[in-house]
Amino acid sequence: GRSPMLLHISWFTECMAAREPVKIEPRHLLEDALETLSKEASFCGSDGRSLAFIRAASVLRSLPSTLTTIEELNRLPGFGEHSKRVVQEILEDGFSAEVERVTQKEKYQTMKLFTNIFGVGMKTANRWYQEGLRSLGDLRNSQKLKLSKQQEAGLQHYEDLNMPVSRAEADLIAKMVEEVAHSFLPGTIITLAGGFRRGKLSGHDVDILITHAQEGREEGLLSKVIGQLQSQGLILYHDLKRNSYHDAFSPDSKSTSNMDHFERSFSIFRLKVASHIGDIGARDHSPESSKDWKAVRVDLVVTPISQYPYALLGWTGSKHFERELRRFSCNEKKMVLNSHALYDTVEQKILAATCEEDIFLYLGLEYMPPSDRNA
């Protein structure tokens, strides 16, 4: 028989292919509810419970049409009792009392606010909550708080960074990066990855992969690109990390860390935007309202061409799709998949790939285009 994961993936692909225009409302109500419970669980340190809700939301997303009865749920894989109960509540009453209760909780609201700050993880957010801090104002006014440079930038640009980035803005930034990269290294290949590659119309950041057809030519390019953009006043924050795959990368390491070893920068760009028509002649003439730029989070990742297909697969996401795919390759194929390579633990060798299709083939899966990876 086929493995559950394989079943799930092919079933998922079929559903996506047969997908009709969806009625947004109820589907989103259910997904948002499960997402809230997933967040709440992770804020409480229950990663397993959090993942169960993410799985349930992912199953809902892959349904060809809106769910209307609880019986339909019983036929689906990956739907736990708790998730079922919540969905049933919403289908019957239009809302879930449990979810309502969670969203009212001060701890939930504060943790959500704090973890939405660039550079702030669960640990830090929780510590601040325990110290009695509740709002961005509390953080900004606190005298004793020791913020990292990243957190400082995140706090400073909080409002901009929590506004969705449009496809047009993403394309603009990719073009800016491409132009500068070409001025240093003709032939540099720039690819928009992340949610935008999956066809999403907006995102929380812009994920850009950088490579060159000649292996090794790409090394050191990123610092030049960032330096150039910085001299043009287009960078609000950046943290350049050197690549570490020469020393640190061991393909058969049992490490479950999701961090990869590419040369990269998680940065904040200063993007020029057409100033808002509505602001002209408005009463409010504060500099904030006539601001003609927007802070945008940009992840820049440089990869040698030999690892590029793996980097592309890894950085296209979604996060949940990557997690499931890696789990599948490990459990079902005894292969370790990450953003650098696929390692066959039985044959004890690294499998070279020239494109994403090669990787799906190694895993015995039918190729899934990026638009099918929104799990």
Instruction: Enumerate the active-site residues.
Output: 205, 207, 299
User: In 10 A of CB 160, how many CB atoms?
Assistant: 18
Which residue has its beta carbon closest to Mn ion?
Answer: 194
Handedness of CA 40, 46, 49, 52 (dihedral sign): positive
Give, as ranges, the residues between 286 and 325 that touch Mn ion (CB under 5 A).
Answer: 299
- Asked if 169 is part of the footprint of Mn ion (rule: CB under 5 A), the reply reads no
Nearer to Mn ion by Cβ, of 299 and 358: the residue is: 299
Strands 202-203 and 165-166: antiparallel
Smallest separation, CB 140 to ligand ATP (Å): 25
Alpha helices by DSSP H, listed for 62-166, are: 70-74, 81-93, 97-104, 106-115, 122-130, 136-141, 149-156, 158-161
CA distance 265 to 335: 29
Nearer to ligand ATP by Cβ, of 69 and 257: the residue is: 257
Amino acid at 327: R
- Interface with Mn ion (CB under 5 A), residue from 40, 160, 169, 205: 205
Nearer to ligand ATP by Cβ, of 309 and 317: the residue is: 317
Could you tell me which residues come within 8 angstroms of residue 84 by beta carbon, excluding any fewer than 6 positions away?
70, 73, 74
Residues of this chain that interact with ligand ATP (CB under 6 A) are: 194-195, 200, 203-205, 207, 258-260, 314-315, 317-319, 322, 339
CA distance 349 to 40: 41
Piece in contact with Mn ion (CB under 5 A), picked from 16-24, 188-196, 237-245, 346-354: 188-196
Smallest separation, CB 166 to ligand ATP (Å): 11
Smallest separation, CB 205 to Mn ion (Å): 4
Nearer to Mn ion by Cβ, of 33 and 206: the residue is: 206
Smallest separation, CB 367 to ligand ATP (Å): 18
- 299's torsion region: left (phi>0), alpha (psi -120 to 50) or beta? beta
Nearer to ligand ATP by Cβ, of 239 and 279: the residue is: 239
Smallest separation, CB 203 to ligand ATP (Å): 3
User: In 10 A of CB 185, how many CB atoms?
Assistant: 17
Q: Residue 322 binds what, of ligand ATP, Mn ion, none (CB under 5 to 8 Å, by partner type)?
A: ligand ATP
Q: Residue 258 binds what, of ligand ATP, Mn ion, none (CB under 5 to 8 Å, by partner type)?
A: ligand ATP
If we measure between CA atoms, which residue out of 61, 313, 75 comes closest to residue 207? Answer: 313
Radius of gyration of the chain (CA): 22
Binding site for Mn ion (CB under 5 A): 194-195, 203, 205, 207, 299
